[in-house]
Structure 1
Amino acid sequence: MTSFDRLAAKPLFLCSFRSFFLATALYGVALLLGWLGFLATGIGLPEVPGGPIVWHAHELMFGFGLAAVAGFVLTAVPEFTATPAFGRRVTLVLLLCWAAARLAFWLSGVLGAGGAVLAALLNSGFMAAIVVLVAPRLWRDPERRHLSFLWGLAAMWLAVGGFHADVLRGLYPMRWVLAGAGAMMVLIVVAMSRVSMRIVNDALDAERLRRAAEQGDAVAGERPRLPGEDDDELPAYRARPPRRNLAVFGIAAHTLAEFALPGSPIAGWIALAAAAAVLNLLNDWHVGRALLTRWAFMLYAVYWMMALGYGSIGLSLLGVAVAPSAGLHLLTVGAMGLSIFGVLCIAGRTHSGYELDMRPWVPVAALAIGAAALARAAAGLPGMPVAGLQAASVAAWALGYGLAAVFLGAVFLRPRPDAGTGCEEPMDEAA
C-alpha cells in the first residue's frame, strides 16, 4: 500500500464532507485571524494582484466558501441521485488540489506571471473538477430534480475563472468576487430548501408530541401524527418552489445588474427587490413554536441575514449613508458563514453516524457568527468605531468556527460509532 493509499484510508477520508468540512472550519479561523493581524498591526499578507483586500475577499469566497461547497455537493449529490459515493482517493486528490490552489494564490504575487497562471489553473481546475464530477449524476437523474445545483456550481466556476482571467489581463478582479457572492447566495437558497424540509418538519413532529403529551393524548406505542394529519394549527412545512425561485431570480438579477452597471441605482432597486423576495420566502417558515428550536431557527436566521444584506446594499446604492461593505458582509459573514456552520453541524454529524449535537457549544458558536456579521456590518455605518467593530467581528467569528473545528473535528477524525460503513445517517439510536 502506498503512502497515498494509507492516507486515504484514514477516517478523515471516509466521506467527502469530512476533510472538506474540517478544512472549512480551520481555514475560516486562520483566514480571519490573519486579516485582523493585518488591520491591527499591519503584518504582511500574501502579495497578490489587487492587494490585501483582494486576497481577503478571494480567500473568504473561493477558499473558505468553496471548501464547504465541495464537501456538501460531493456528499449530497450521490444521496440525492441514488448513486455511489465518491471514493476516498477522489476526495484526497480534490483536497490536495484545493490546498495547492490556496498556496498558489498566496504566492502569485511573488512568483510573477508564472505564479498567476498557476493560481488560475489550480483554482479554476478545482472548481471544474467539482462540476465535472457531479454534472453527469445530476443530469442523468430521471426527474432532474436537482439541476439547480449544477447551474449554481457552473456560475461559481465562471466567477472563479473570470477572477483569474482579469488578474492575467492586469485588471482589478473584485467584480468577480461579488459575482461569486451572488452565486453562493443562490446555492445557499437551493441547499437550504432541501435541508430545511427535514429540520423544520422534525421540529414540528416534536412539537406535536409535546402537545399530545400535555393533553394526555399520548399513548405508549402509538405513532405521532404525520405532518398535516388533522392538525390545522401545525401544518406541514413546505419549501415552496415559487417563492424559492423568485428569491433565486432576484439574487441573480441583482448580481447581473451590479456586474454590468456597478454602483448604479438600477442595481440598488433590484437589490431591494431581492431582499423583498427573500423575506417573502420566509413566509413558509412561520410555523409557530417549532421555529424556535435551535436548528430551525439557525437556518431561519440565514435568510434574515441575506435579506438584510441585500436591503443594505440597495440602500447604499440609492445614496443612503451606509457603506456597501455593510451589506456585503451581512451576505458573506452572516448568510454564508451561518449557513455553512449549520451544514457542518447537521450534515457533518448525521452523515458521520451521530445524532444532532444538543450541547451548549452549538448555540454559542451560532450566536458568535451572527454577532460577527452584525458587528462587521455596523462598522459600515456613519460615526461607528470601525477598528473596534472589525476586531470584535473577527474575534466572534474565530470563536464560532474555532468551536466547530474542535467539536466537529473530533467527529471527522475518528471512525463511525455505529455499524455504518459509509456516509449514511446513524444506524442505531445508541449512536
Structure 2
Amino acid sequence: MSLPIFGQTPATPAPYGLPWLRLAFRPFYLGAGLLAALIVPLWVAIFLGAVTWAPTPPTVVWHAHEMLFGFATAVIVGFLMTAGKTWTGLATPRGSLLGALFLLWLASRVASLVAPYAVFAVLDLALLPAIGLIFLRLLMRSKNWRNVPLALILLLLSVVNLTFHLSANGLIDLAPMSSLYAALGFIVMIECVMAGRVVPFFTATALNIKIEPVVWLERSTLAATAIGLVLWVTGWHSGLAAAALALASVLNLSRQLRWQPLATLSRPIVWILHFSYFWLSGGLALLAVAQLGGVAASYGVHALAVGATGGLIIGMMTRTSRGHTGRALQVDAVETSAYVLVMLAAVLRVLLPLLMPAWYSYALVMSASAWTAAFLIFLWRYTPWLLTARRDGKDG
C-alpha cells in the first residue's frame, strides 16, 4: 500500500477500493460543502444571540479560522492532491491514507466545537504539514518545479496556523486575527496563481478562441498582489499598503479583462469563475480604501472571503467534480442557481451593509441563508456522484 500512496508507481491503476477514497477531491469536497452549509448559519446565530452556546476558541476568531483552515483549506487540499496526480503522473493518497487524512480534518472541525482547546489545536495543526510534505515530495520526484511554490504555500499556511493557535492562547504577543489575515492572504495568492492558469484556459476552450498571457502583466499582478497583502497584514505603512493594494486591484482587473469575461455570460460554468475574480479585484480595492480610513477592513476581507474565495471554490468544485467523475463539463439550472446564490451572498454581506449600515443584521441573515442554500444545492447534486465510481469506469 505504501508504494502507490507515496508516488512510487504510475498513477494509472485499474479501479480499486472504495470510490469515495480514490482521489482527494471526493471526501474533501464533501466535507467542505457540509461545513460551509452548517458553520455560517451557526456563526450568525451565535453572533446575533439566537444561540448562547459557544465553540472552543473565542467566537469571532473561531468563525474566521474555520472558514479559512476548515472550509477553504479542505477544498485546496482536495484540488491540489487531485491535480497533483495529473501534474506529476504519480499516485496521490488514496484508500486508508486518504481516509485517515480526511478523518483528521473532520476531527479537527468537531474538536473546534466540543473539545478542550489543546486537543483542537493538536488535531488542527497536524493536517497541513502532512499534506504539504506529501505534495512537495510528489512534485520533487517528478521534477515539477513549476508547482513547488504551491506546496511551499501549504507549509507556510501551517506556520500561520501555528501562530494563530499560539496567539489565541496568549502564548505570543500577536492578535489572532493577524494570523487569520495572513492565511487569507496566502489563499488569495493561491487563487491568483491558479486563476491565471485555469480561467483563461477554460474561457478559451469554451469560446474556441486563443488567449495568450502577457508575461510582464502576469508577473506584475502577482508581485503587486503579494506586496499589497504583506503590507496590509503587517500594518507596516498604511499609505504604502493602500497604494500597493490599489495597484494590485487595477492589475488584476486588467489581467482579467484580457480573458474576455463578458463573452462567457452564456456559459455558467465559466462565468462563475469570472464573477468571482471580479470580487478579488474589488476586495483588494476595498482593502486599499480601508487603509486610508474610508471603510472598515471587514468589507474588503469579506469581498475576498465570500465573493472571491467562495465563488471560485464552488465554481472549481463543480467543474472538477464533473470532470473527475466522468461527466460533461456543462451545468444546468441546479448548479447555476448555486452560483447565483454565492454571488448574492457576497452582495448581501459586503455591499448591502456598506450602503445601508442600519440593515447590518438583516444583511447577515440573508447572506448566510443564500450561502447555505448554495452549498446545500451542491451537496444534493454532487454527494451521490462523489460517493460512487466514475460513469466511464475509469479509476479516480
**Which stretch shifts more, 383-392 or 69-78?**
383-392
Letter in 2 for 1:141: S
Is the 1:324–1:380 Cα contact (8 Å) retained in structure 2? no
Q: Counterpart in 2 of 1:12? A: 20
Q: Distance in 2 between matches of 1:372 and 1:263?
A: 32
Letter in 2 for 1:319: G
Q: Counterpart in 1 of 2:320? A: 347
Q: Counterpart in 2 of 1:31? A: 39
Q: Deviations over 1:144-191 (max 9, x none)?
A: 222231232233222212211212334531111100101001111222
Q: Counterpart in 1 of 2:188? A: 185
Assess, with a 3 A threshold, how the Cα gap between structure 1 residues 286 and 357 changes in structure 2: closer, same or farther.
Answer: closer
Assess, with a 3 A threshold, how the Cα gap between structure 1 residues 337 and 144 changes in structure 2: closer, same or farther.
Answer: same
Is the 1:305–1:335 Cα contact (8 Å) retained in structure 2? yes
1:26 Cα deviation from its structure 2 partner: 0.8
Letter in 2 for 1:395: S
Q: Counterpart in 1 of 2:221? A: 247
- Greater C-alpha Rg: 1
Q: Distance in 1 between matches of 2:240 and 2:200?
A: 35
Assess, with a 3 A threshold, how the Cα gap between structure 1 residues 382 and 194 changes in structure 2: closer, same or farther.
Answer: closer
Paired residue secondary structure (1:146): helix
Is the 2:311–2:343 Cα contact (8 Å) retained in structure 1? yes
1:157 correspondence with 2:161: no
Assess, with a 3 A threshold, how the Cα gap between structure 1 residues 363 and 47 changes in structure 2: closer, same or farther.
Answer: closer
Q: Deviations over 1:248-297 (max 9, x none)?
A: 22222122212322683332222212212211221330276356422221
Q: 1:97 aligns with which of 104, 112, 135?
A: 104
Is the 1:345–1:357 Cα contact (8 Å) retained in structure 2? no
Letter in 2 for 1:361: V
| TM-score, normalised via structure 1 length | 0.82
Assess, with a 3 A threshold, how the Cα gap between structure 1 residues 263 and 398 changes in structure 2: closer, same or farther.
Answer: farther
Q: Deviations over 1:112-170 (max 9, x none)?
A: xxx33x33322221010110110012233335222231232233222212211212334
Q: Distance in 1 between matches of 2:308 and 2:45?
A: 24
Assess, with a 3 A threshold, how the Cα gap between structure 1 residues 190 and 45 changes in structure 2: closer, same or farther.
Answer: farther
Letter in 1 for 2:259: W
1:413 Cα deviation from its structure 2 partner: 1.5
If asked which structure has higher relative contact order (CA below 8 Å, sep 6+), I would say 2
How many residues align? The count is 378
Assess, with a 3 A threshold, how the Cα gap between structure 1 residues 63 and 45 changes in structure 2: closer, same or farther.
Answer: farther
Q: 1:368 aligns with which of 338, 341, 355?
A: 341
Q: 2:288 aligns with which of 314, 337, 353?
A: 314
Structure 2: tracts of 5 or more residues without a match = 1-15
Q: 1:338 aligns with which of 296, 305, 311?
A: 311
Letter in 1 for 2:18: K
Assess, with a 3 A threshold, how the Cα gap between structure 1 residues 351 and 238 changes in structure 2: closer, same or farther.
Answer: farther
1:62 Cα deviation from its structure 2 partner: 0.7
Assess, with a 3 A threshold, how the Cα gap between structure 1 residues 316 and 287 changes in structure 2: closer, same or farther.
Answer: closer
Is the 2:24–2:78 Cα contact (8 Å) retained in structure 1? yes
Structure 1: tracts of 5 or more residues without a match = 1-7, 206-233, 424-431
Q: Deviations over 1:217-244 (max 9, x none)?
A: xxxxxxxxxxxxxxxxx4x123555433
1:127 correspondence with 2:100: no
1:203 correspondence with 2:206: yes
Q: Deviations over 1:330-389 (max 9, x none)?
A: 100110001110111111111011112421012211111011011101254264310111
Is the 2:24–2:98 Cα contact (8 Å) retained in structure 1? yes
Assess, with a 3 A threshold, how the Cα gap between structure 1 residues 365 and 133 changes in structure 2: closer, same or farther.
Answer: same
Q: Distance in 2 between matches of 1:262 and 1:105?
A: 32
Assess, with a 3 A threshold, how the Cα gap between structure 1 residues 44 and 368 changes in structure 2: closer, same or farther.
Answer: same
1:247 Cα deviation from its structure 2 partner: 2.6
Q: 2:260 aligns with which of 278, 286, 292?
A: 286
Paired residue secondary structure (2:146): coil
Is the 2:55–2:112 Cα contact (8 Å) retained in structure 1? no
Assess, with a 3 A threshold, how the Cα gap between structure 1 residues 139 and 277 changes in structure 2: closer, same or farther.
Answer: farther
Is the 1:34–1:45 Cα contact (8 Å) retained in structure 2? no
Q: Counterpart in 2 of 1:226? A: none
Q: Counterpart in 1 of 2:168? A: 167
Q: Distance in 2 between matches of 1:306 and 1:287?
A: 14
Q: 2:351 aligns with which of 354, 361, 378?
A: 378
Assess, with a 3 A threshold, how the Cα gap between structure 1 residues 192 and 45 changes in structure 2: closer, same or farther.
Answer: farther
Assess, with a 3 A threshold, how the Cα gap between structure 1 residues 260 and 358 changes in structure 2: closer, same or farther.
Answer: closer
Is the 2:306–2:342 Cα contact (8 Å) retained in structure 1? yes
Q: Share of identical aligned residues, percent?
A: 24
Q: Cα RMSD (Å) of the superposition?
A: 2.1
| TM-score, normalised via structure 2 length | 0.89
Paired residue secondary structure (2:328): coil
Q: Distance in 2 between matches of 1:241 and 1:135?
A: 26
Q: Counterpart in 1 of 2:3? A: none
Is the 1:316–1:324 Cα contact (8 Å) retained in structure 2? yes
Assess, with a 3 A threshold, how the Cα gap between structure 1 residues 152 and 240 changes in structure 2: closer, same or farther.
Answer: farther
Alignment of 1:138-157 (within 5 A): 138-142=139-143, 144-157=145-158
Q: Deviations over 1:20-45 (max 9, x none)?
A: 00111111010111012223443134
1:42 correspondence with 2:16: no
**Which stretch shifts more, 285-294 or 387-396?**
285-294
Paired residue secondary structure (1:381): helix
Is the 1:325–1:380 Cα contact (8 Å) retained in structure 2? no
